[in-house]
Amino acid sequence: MGQTITEKIFSEHVGHAVYAGEIIKCKIDMVIGNDITTPISIKAFEESGATKLANPDGFSIVMDHYIPAKDIASANQAKISRDFAYKHDLKHYFDEKDMGIEHALLPEKGLVVPGDVIIGADSHTCTHGALGAFATGMGSTDLAFAMITGENWFKVPESIKVVFSGKPKRHVYGKDLILEVIRRLGVDGALYRTLEFTGDTVAYLSMDDRFSLCNMAIEAGAKSGIVAVDETTKAFLSDKKLTREPKFFYSDDDATYVHVLHIDVANLDPVIAYPFLPSNGKSINEAVKDDLAIDQVFIGSCTNGRLEDLRIAASILKGRKVARKTRLIITPATQKISLQAQKEGLVDIFVEAGAVFSNPTCGACLGGYMGILGEGERCVATTNRNFVGRMGARTSEIYLANSAVAAASAVMGKITDPRTL
């Protein structure tokens, strides 16, 4: 009986063949915590009587949501994680000295390896599936269990096969592909399933595109998103000092899928998700007709704060100015990305255009700080969620888009097709 890539990863971890629906307990290769959720895990860890981590080298804490601390509460929250990291001499602890958003920083550091099983107390942990790993979000107490035992329980998920075909049009990216998937499936159409992304289109997608693709699998209710390793993946990994030996798995031709979704990418235009659900997708052509004035544009987050996103935005902003009544905030996902953006002159372009270029942080994405929306304000964001009140006031509106659409909208002060500039 054939297996999916996900079933094969779990089979390798438990030592025998497993299939969708089975309940298993398996070793975790990397446990990821952040400054928001880890304090709860630490409390559970210490209350259990545990004194040491089961796998210290397989546990990382990334301070990214409210760092540098925005107020006393966030400073105290961060202190709990910081003290724990120092107490246990944690090797993979990242704060202001080497900061970044967890789902961009860990792949950059080589801490995510193909064939891994990865969990994190953050729903967008599924991002790491872009590297051919099983990665999913869990609760903070689930994280504590893994900290203590090095293992966790899983129900092996069923898989939905998404087949992308055709070469993407200009300014159509991984973000548009996943928004189209969510538009078709709905926010619960892949509940507790793996979205396995395949098809000839994948060869046209950069690693940054693939991270965006897997990042938003959770917005369709999926347990994980995954892309099989190919030459693009291997090229990304080639300069990384990987902490484990990578293992490449591929789905069998006779693997079982609960659904196969075909998407013709060659005929897909940029997609905009209207408030208040990521599934409320519309073509850029429809959005332009709505003539929606925009108060703020945010380019950043674990979805689209990577170097490619900054390059795309800079190519549109160069020689142009942000509209008078619009604010543009650009937040790189890691310090390395920030430094490279400076070397390439991208930061000069942003500042000269009238944008704010910030330190790496989740920041505005979750309505944390550095970009809170006021009553009735509209924002075009390259983030992953546009729920009511996600980035500030409950009457504010968020329109999810790719980096090109975001930059073009900042220039024009309204939702704009970048291909018209």
Kindly state whether residues 410 and 370 are assigned to the same domain: yes
pLDDT in tens, 285-316: 999 999 999 999 999 999 999 999 999 999 99
Same domain, 49 and 82: yes
* Cβ atoms of residues 401 and 318 within 8 Å: no
155 forms bridges with which residues in the sheet? 23
Is 254 found in the same domain as 287? no
The 10s digit of each residue's pLDDT in 212-259 is 999 999 999 999 999 999 999 999 999 998 988 999 999 999 999 999
d(CA 65, CA 80): 14
List, for the chain, all residue ranges whose pLDDT scores fall below the cut of 70: none
Q: Cα–Cα distance between 355 and 336 in angstroms, integer?
A: 20
Do 276 and 131 share a domain, yes or no?
A: no
Report how far apart, in Å, the C-alpha atoms of 414 and of each of 111, 328, 418, 419 are: 40, 12, 11, 14
| 34 and 181 inside one domain | yes
Does 256 share its domain with 369?
Answer: no
The single-letter DSSP state of residue 182 is: H
Q: For residue 241, is it left (φ>0), alpha (ψ between -120 and 50) or beta? A: beta
DSSP state of 373: B
Q: Verify that 294 and 229 share a domain, yes or no.
A: no
Query: 0.75 cut: is pTM over it?
Result: yes
What is residue 243's predicted lDDT score, i.e. its pLDDT? 83
How many domains are there within the chain?
Answer: 2
**One domain, residues 400 and 374:** yes
Q: Are residues 179 and 328 located together in one domain of the fold?
A: no
197 touches 225 (CB < 8 A):
yes
Distance (Å, rounded) from C-alpha 65 to C-alpha 68? 9
Residues 146 and 275 in one domain: no
Please indicate, yes or no, whether residues 188 and 250 belong to a single structural domain of this protein: yes
Q: How far apart are CA 313 and CA 304, in angstroms?
A: 11
193 is in which domain, residue-wise?
5-263
3 state SS for 379-395? EEECCCCCCCCCCECCC
Quick check: bond before 168 cis, omega within 30?
no
- Which residue, of 263, 296, 326, is where some domain finishes? 263
The angle subtended at Cα 7 by Cα 34 and Cα 53, nearest 5°, is: 35
Question: What ranges make up the beta strands (E) of 65-216?
Answer: 92-94, 117-120, 134-137, 151-155, 158-165, 193-198
Q: Where are the alpha helices (DSSP H) in 16-71?
A: 38-47
Q: Are residues 245 and 386 in the same domain?
A: no
The closest of 176, 383, 378 to 281, measured between CA atoms, is 176
Helix 207-215 with 307-317: angle, nearest 10 deg? 110
Residue of 266, 269, 280 lying closest to 185 (CA atoms):
280
CB atoms within 10 A of CB 404: 28
Q: Where does a domain end: 202, 232, 263?
A: 263
Among residues 263, 288, 320, which one ends one of the domains? 263
Give the helix/strand (H/E) hosting 214.
Answer: helix 207-215
CA 313 to chain centre: 18
353: domain CATH number is 3.30.499.10
What are the phi and psi torsion angles at 156 (to 5°)?
-60, 120
